[in-house]
Amino acid sequence: MITSTDSKSNKNIVLLIIVASLGYFVDMYDLVLFSVIRVASLKGIGVADEDLLSVGVSLINAQMIGMLVGGLLWGIWGDKKGRLQVLFGSILMYSAANIANGFVTDVFTYGLIRFIAGVGLAGELGAGITLVTESMSKEKRGYGTMLVASIGLLGAVTAGLIGDKFAWQTAYFIGGGMGIILLILRIGVFESGMFHKIQDKNIRKGDFMMILGNWGRLKKYLNCTLIALPTWFVVGILVTFAPEFGDALGATEPLSAGKGIMFTYLGISIGDMISGLLSQYFKTRKKVVAGFLVATLISVLIYLFSSEMTTERFYFICVLLGLSTGFWVIFVTIAAEQFGTNLRATVTTTVPNFIRGSLVLVTLSFEWLKTPLGIINAALLVGATCITIAFISVYNLEETYGKDLDYIEE
C-alpha cells in the first residue's frame, strides 16, 4: 500500500530528477556553445583566419581552467553548506556570464568571461547527481542519474542547433536566459536527507585534504577522474577541431564543428541511456565502462583513418563517437558512490570538472605533437594514451552497484 508520505516522497524525487536534468541541460548548452560558435564569434571580434585555432584553444583552456577552480569551490561548498545552495549559485553565475559574453568585442574580455562562466558551470552536475544518488534507493538510483545525464546532454544538441541558426551573440543570450528561467523551477526542490543528518554534526565536511592526505582516497579519486578522459579527447579535439581534421582527411567540403558537436552529443545522450540501462540490468558499473572504452577505441580509429571524408560520413562517425563515449552517466555515478556523505559533493563536483579541465593538458599535448607528427598522428598518439589511462583506472576501482551510501569518511 502506498501511503501519502510515500506519494509525497516520490513526487519530490520526480521533481528533483526533472530539475537536475534541466539544470544539466542548460549546463551542457553553455558548456559546448563556444565550440559550436568558435569560428563565427572569433571572426566577429576580428580574429584573423590563421589565428582561429590557436585563439580557440586558449579560450577553451580559459573556460576549462575556470571549471577546475569552480569544481573545487562548489564541491567544498556543497558538503559544508548544502547541495541546493550550489545548484542555485552556480546557475546564476554562468547564466550572467553567458549573457555578458554576447557583448564581448576583444579576445582578452572573451577569455575572462569564459573563465567566469567556467567557474559557474562547474557546480551544476555534481550537485544534481549528489542529490539524486542520496535521495533514491541504492537499487534504483542508477535510473535517476541515467535520466539526468541523458536528458541533460541534449542541451549540447540544442547548442548545435541554436548556434547554427542564430547569430553567436543571440546564442549566448538564449543560454543565459534559459538559466535565469530555470532558477524559478528550483523553488520546490528539497535538500538531501543524508546531508541533513550530518549538517550540524561536528565532523569534517568538504575537506579536500582528507583526500590529498590519504593515499587510499587519493588513488580512488584519481581513478574516478581518469576513466572519462577519452570523452573529452573526443569532444575537445576530434570534434571541436573538425574543420582542421577535415582538411587533413581530404574532406570533400568543410566540416562543421557545430553540427559535429550536435551529432556527437546526440550519440552521447543515447549512449548514456544505453550504458545506464546496461549497468542496472547487469548490476555492474565497471564492466559496462570497459566495454564502452573498447568501442571508443574502434570509433576513434574509424574517424582518423577515413579518407575523402564526406559530411554525411562525418556526421555518422560523430554519432558513433558519441555512442561509444556515452558512459558519462556511469562515470559520475561511480564517483558519487565511492565516497561518504561528508565528501560526496566535493568528489562528485570536482571529478567531472577536473576531467573537463584535463582538456587543457590534452590540447597542449596535441598542439605540441601536431607540428612534428602531423595532425592525424598526433591525435592517434594522444587518443591512445587517454584510452589506455582510462582502462587502467577502471581496473583499479571497486564495483559500487548497490552500495549503501549512508556513511561518512572518518
Number of helical H runs and strand E runs in the chain:
19, 0
Q: What's the pLDDT tens digit per position in 336-358?
A: 888 888 888 898 889 988 887 77
Query: Could you give the C-alpha distances from 292 to 224, 240, 361, in angstroms and in order?
Result: 16, 21, 23
- pLDDT over 70 (residue 53): yes
Q: How many CB atoms lie within 10 A of CB 6?
A: 10
Q: What's the pLDDT tens digit per position in 198-253?
A: 766 777 877 888 998 899 999 999 999 999 999 989 988 999 888 888 888 888 88
- pLDDT over 90 (residue 317): yes
Mean pLDDT value of segment 169-173: 92
| Identity of the residue numbered 38 | R
- pTM value is 0.83
CA distance 13 to 192: 10
Task: Pick the closest to residue 171 from 235, 264, 98 (CA basis).
Answer: 98
Residues 123, 264, 56, 169, Cα dihedral to 10°: -70
Task: Pick the closest to residue 315 from 244, 356, 267 (CA basis).
Answer: 267
Q: Grid cell 544534481 — which residue?
A: 128
Of 174-178, 340-344, 389-393, 402-406, give the range with the top mean pLDDT: 389-393
Of 39-43, 176-180, 390-394, give the range with the top mean pLDDT: 390-394
pLDDT of 296: 96
Query: Could you give the C-alpha distances from 387 to 156, 268, 291, 380, in angstroms and in order?
Result: 23, 17, 12, 11
- pLDDT over 50 (residue 57): yes
CA distance 281 to 348: 24
CA distance 103 to 26: 20
Q: What's the pLDDT tens digit per position in 101-122?
A: 999 999 999 999 999 998 988 8
pLDDT of 3: 47
Mean pLDDT value of segment 156-178: 87
- What are the DSSP calls for 348-407, one per residue? HHHHHHHHHHTHHHHHHHHHHHHHHH-HHHHHHHHHHHHHHHHHHHHHHSPP-TT-----
Mean pLDDT value of segment 309-321: 91
Task: Walk me through the domains of the chain, giving residue ranges and CATH numbers.
Answer: 9-396 (1.20.1250.20)
Q: Which helix (H) or strand (E) holds 9?
A: helix 4-44
pLDDT of 195: 61
CA distance 203 to 296: 42
Residue 8 pLDDT grade (very low, low, confident, very high; cuts 50, 70, 90):
low
The vertex-22 CA angle with 21 and 28, nearest 5°, equals 90
pLDDT of 1: 42
- pLDDT above 70 covers a percentage of the chain that reads 94
pLDDT of 229: 93
Contact 309, 251 (CB under 8 A): yes
Contact 146, 330 (CB under 8 A): no
CA distance 307 to 235: 20
- What are the DSSP calls for 181-222, one per residue? HHHHHGGG----HHHHHHHTSSS--S-THHHHT-HHHHHHHH
CA distance 410 to 408: 6
